[in-house]
Structure 1
């Protein structure tokens, strides 16, 4: 496979998952933000933007600016619209590899971005529309593409981004003023019903944190996403060595997963910011390692990458 095609598929997975994750984070914060006094609204909007890895444009950055920055700004891949646009552009470049259903799903979604109001209510509906569209796009990828090497790159990008976005979502619990309840966190991840069925009577904050971090069977938990990334990396480079790993990305992802899995669950809440920062750094380092291993190209031929 050409490295440029592999890179496009990897970033399709990442960008679609980023749009999904950003929509979830915005959705769970919108109602609370809209009810805050103006001064606190500005503070929390700036904090939320910082959790998402972006910087405010002005000192009086408020809710309207946040909605534009995270939902509608097509010039930045940090936003939902920007991420979906970047995914569509990468699919266009890999048009001979992606299925027609996947391409049409991305293309239709791109043209539907303009049909939404940009106020709080419109953004709330926009987030739910994005969740439906990204679920459909991921379904097309899973069911209409052969699960060969090309699909593994797409799945690898999706898994790394999912671990990163779940970590960012959990970071909002402690980083924002008047932190969100864990019930809302579980709903944000689509995990509330699964959590209740799994834990039954035990439904405290510590159990919710454990579930979103460590559950090996729930697809949006960080451990599950990191395990999926490990499997994709193993299938892309199945060579075995008696000592260590030849693939830096697999080593980085494996270390992050094992650190969480073998950590004392009782310490999770008190050390949550540190854990989430470590997960985000590991995902970024693994992405860089994948780029070095599979996508290395001369600078003057480089045409794709993460917009920040």
Structure 2
């Protein structure tokens, strides 16, 4: 297939997943600040922006909920924001119009038109985030229901899986932003994982044992689709399907090697080790996803310029 079509599908997968995960992270943050009146909102918001890879102008002074939402929810230009990511997904779908299904295009176009109208700015943040999650779920469902399992679908799922691993790592990293620990049940709910977690462990996610089990579930569980290890496994499978060449030594693609190294670093550590060194571990996952995305671009989109999320990362 044409490299420009493959690139568009790859970034549609990344951008829709980014919008979904950013909505989940912001929903956790807003709920947290509303529930705790003693929280230092400026410190927590600044830390969250740093986790999300967004810089703050020092001249702004104190940064609160309004500035956070402008940067990560409503900004139509930045691909780090929900609105910007969905706009970029729609633009990539327009470029690959001959390949994506009509249902998928109409869903992305309808979503963008609703955002461009500005009516969601007047809604409560929770309602807006819930709507974003519903719309991105519709897009993913239409992709799975209307696309053949050929290279087009593989590139979409590859992009979605890399972004999912990256964003789950960011979500887990928000557990201690601002110096106060977020409760694991809140993180599990933000991933839609709470009920699945309870079925898997038949117990609470509070206390030392509960935190360990929750970390295992979000990072290491091979069956839950939003866990980091599951997402990296799916990404590896997509790369094998796209280019199934076998070599006697090593791997043909740098991306597969990078993803495999990141996955094994997680899988062969105990949950106690992960919890004791959580932030560096999550940063390592984010760096691996960025490096793998760059390697995919160099291998399959040689004429394209990598799309940058923030300076120094793609």
- In the aligned structure 2, how far is the partner of 1:200 from the partner of 1:235? 36
- In the aligned structure 2, how far is the partner of 1:272 from the partner of 1:90? 35
Relative to structure 1, is the Cα distance of residues 46 and 202 closer, same or farther in structure 2, using a 3 angstrom cutoff?
closer
Task: Please state if 1:244 is matched with 2:250.
Answer: yes
Partner of 2:52: 52
SS of 2:121's equivalent in the other structure is coil
TM-score using structure 2 length: 0.93
Task: Please state if 1:169 is matched with 2:171.
Answer: yes
Task: Please state if 1:20 is matched with 2:20.
Answer: yes
- In the aligned structure 1, how far is the partner of 2:293 from the partner of 2:222? 22
Question: Equivalent of 2:186, from 172, 184, 187?
Answer: 184
Partner of 1:193: 195
TM-score using structure 1 length: 0.94
RMSD between aligned residues: 1.6
Partner of 1:122: 124
Relative to structure 1, is the Cα distance of residues 183 and 39 closer, same or farther in structure 2, using a 3 angstrom cutoff?
closer
Q: What is the number of equivalent residue pairs in this alignment? A: 303
Partner of 2:70: 68
Is the Cα–Cα contact under 8 Å of residues 230 and 250 in structure 1 kept in the other structure?
yes
Task: Please state if 1:235 is matched with 2:241.
Answer: yes
Relative to structure 1, is the Cα distance of residues 179 and 38 closer, same or farther in structure 2, using a 3 angstrom cutoff?
closer
For structure 2, list consecutive stretches of 5 or more residues without a partner in the other structure.
none
Q: Deviations over 1:166-212 (max 9, x none)?
A: 00000000233322100001001110000000001364101000110
Partner of 2:5: 5
1:21, distance to aligned residue in structure 2 (A): 0.3
For structure 1, list consecutive stretches of 5 or more residues without a partner in the other structure.
none
Task: Please state if 1:283 is matched with 2:289.
Answer: yes
Partner of 1:225: 231
- In the aligned structure 2, how far is the partner of 1:20 from the partner of 1:13? 11
Is the Cα–Cα contact under 8 Å of residues 33 and 39 in structure 2 kept in the other structure?
no
Write out aligned runs for 1:199-214 (5 A).
199-201=201-203, 203=205, 204-214=210-220
User: Which deviates the most, 39-48 or 135-144?
Assistant: 39-48
